[in-house]
Structure formats: C-alpha cells, structure tokens
Amino acid sequence: MRAAVVTDFGGPEAVQIIERDIPEPGAGQVRIKVAAAALNPADAITRSGVLPADPPMGFGWDVAGTIDAAGADTGWAVGDAVVALEDNLVKALGTHAEYVVVEGSAVAAAPTSVDAVHAATVPLNSLTAAQALDLLDLKPAQTLLVTGAAGAVGGYAVQLAAHQGIEVTALAGEKDADFVQSLGAARFVARGGAPGRHDAVLDAALLGETALEWVRDGGAYAGVMPPFLPAPVRGIRTAAVTVTADGARLKDLVALVDAGILTTRVAETYPLDDAAKAHARLAEGGIRGRLVLLP
C-alpha cells in the first residue's frame, strides 16, 4: 500500500510516498480502508523533527473509511463505515495511507449527514476541544473565552461550549466576526482587542501567558499543547489537553454533527500522492477548515 512518511526531517518537500505492507489487525483492533484523512498542524510538527524520535515516521491522526478487517472482540464488522483517531504522537505509519490499523475502542460509526471527506475532519479537533473543555469543568452560564475561535479546534470549542449553556466570547481575526457568532459565540473580540476577564480561557491560539491574563482570579486555563502551558498565577488552574482516542466520546460528537450542532469544514482536498503539496499549503497559513488527503 502507499503511505506518506518522512525519512529526513524538513519542510514540505521532506514528505515522501512509499510502499509498505498492508498492516494486519491484532486482537481488539480493526483495519480501516481509508477514504479520507485530514492534515493537521500536528503533522507539520512530525515533519519538522521537533519530536524526540527518529525517522521514518508516518503522518495522520484522523481517518474516515470502511472496516476492512477486524480482530477478535472489537464489536465491529467488515463493511462498517467509521471514523477514528490514531492518537500515537510517534508512529511508523499513520492515517495518511491506504489502510490503517487502530484499536477498536477508538472507532465510532461515521456521521450520516456528511461525506467521508468532511467526516475526516471530526475526530482529532472535536475530541481535543471536548477534552479541553473537560479540563475547565465549567457550568452553564459561566463565561469562557476561546482564543483562535475561528480555527478547527477553537470553532468546535465554541460550538460545544455554547451547546452546554456556557457564555462564550470568541477571540479571532476581525473578518471572522460573523462566522464565530454563527457558531454560538455570545460576544466577539477582534485579535489585539481587550477581552476582559472570564471564568476560564480555552487557548486554542497558544497565546500562553497573554491569555492567562484574561482569566479571573481562581479561574481555569486550558491549553492545547502541553509544552506551551504557562505557569499558574492568581490561583488559576492551568492544564493542557493531551488528546486521547475515545470511541464512545467520538460517537457522541458524531451525533452532534448529525444533529447540526457541530459544523465540519473542509478547505481543500488533495490526492495522497500530493501530500507534499498539501503540507506546503498548510505551511502558507490562512486556511479556514482542514486540508484532506484522499488515497
């Protein structure tokens, strides 16, 4: 099968398409024939060589596709349309391939309201947003500031928090005001503005100490990248989400997609063979929605 890997760390040109044996699922695992797989900033981190690991390394966290083979005791059957998260930060092969093996517990039935391309944008970003909100432990009517609110994680965080009855202020670029308010933000603040203090901040934009200043004394801060977690001040609880695969939680999030509560966004699609071009487009920035690879 074909798979995207990096053998020498570097820029987008370092992405290679190689041939590998089709992986076999073990007990509790399933093999998914990949229909679509999103490209995320985490893949750029893998490519750059920041992680403490040696190449070759595979790319890809999200997958939408069809069960192709199943080990014992998975509860899944060949032919099931599914989505899943492959949550290993360091991997020899990821979801940017024709086939991927994941734990059966990481899998959820695919949404029925969107196609595989859009479904592939759900697992990583929605689970990251949901698990970050878990860290904040907010109650209805409490106030939350989401930085990077127009991004993939930030957008899901706004929608999930608003659905829970939390009063959301969205911090994003000025041109994104209408968009983030359509997601359920009660208030919009343009990047560079003064959001004031809130019960909590979900810092999807990685602003760190700057965002921490917008949390009230004794409030809570959740980041989305542990190495950039700021030190706590003024009695504020600080934590950063390390996203983990959770098929049961993903099932709930898929249900919210089908209910129209979570909005999927696809910016562009690329053939798997053009993975390097997709990485180059990601590096350019200014993307609203995810780039998706098609084997």
The mean pLDDT value of the chain amounts to 97
Other C-beta atoms closer than 10 Å to the C-beta of 255 total 14
pLDDT band with cut points at 50, 70 and 90 for residue 50:
confident
Hey, CA dihedral for 212, 218, 219, 223, is it positive or negative?
positive
pLDDT of residue 51: 84
List, for residues 85-131, the tens digit of each pLDDT value.
999 889 999 999 999 999 999 999 999 999 999 999 999 999 999 99
Hey, CA dihedral for 86, 92, 98, 102, is it positive or negative?
negative
What percent of the chain has a predicted confidence (pLDDT) above 70? 100
Roughly what angle, to the nearest 10 degrees, separates helices 247-258 and 123-136?
A: 110
pLDDT of residue 133: 98
List, for residues 179-238, the tens digit of each pLDDT value.
999 999 999 999 999 999 999 999 999 999 999 999 999 999 999 999 899 999 999 999
pLDDT band with cut points at 50, 70 and 90 for residue 81:
very high
Domains delineated in the chain: 2-122+264-294 (3.90.180.10), 125-240 (3.40.50.720)
d(CA 174, CA 154): 15
pLDDT of residue 112: 98
pLDDT band with cut points at 50, 70 and 90 for residue 29:
very high
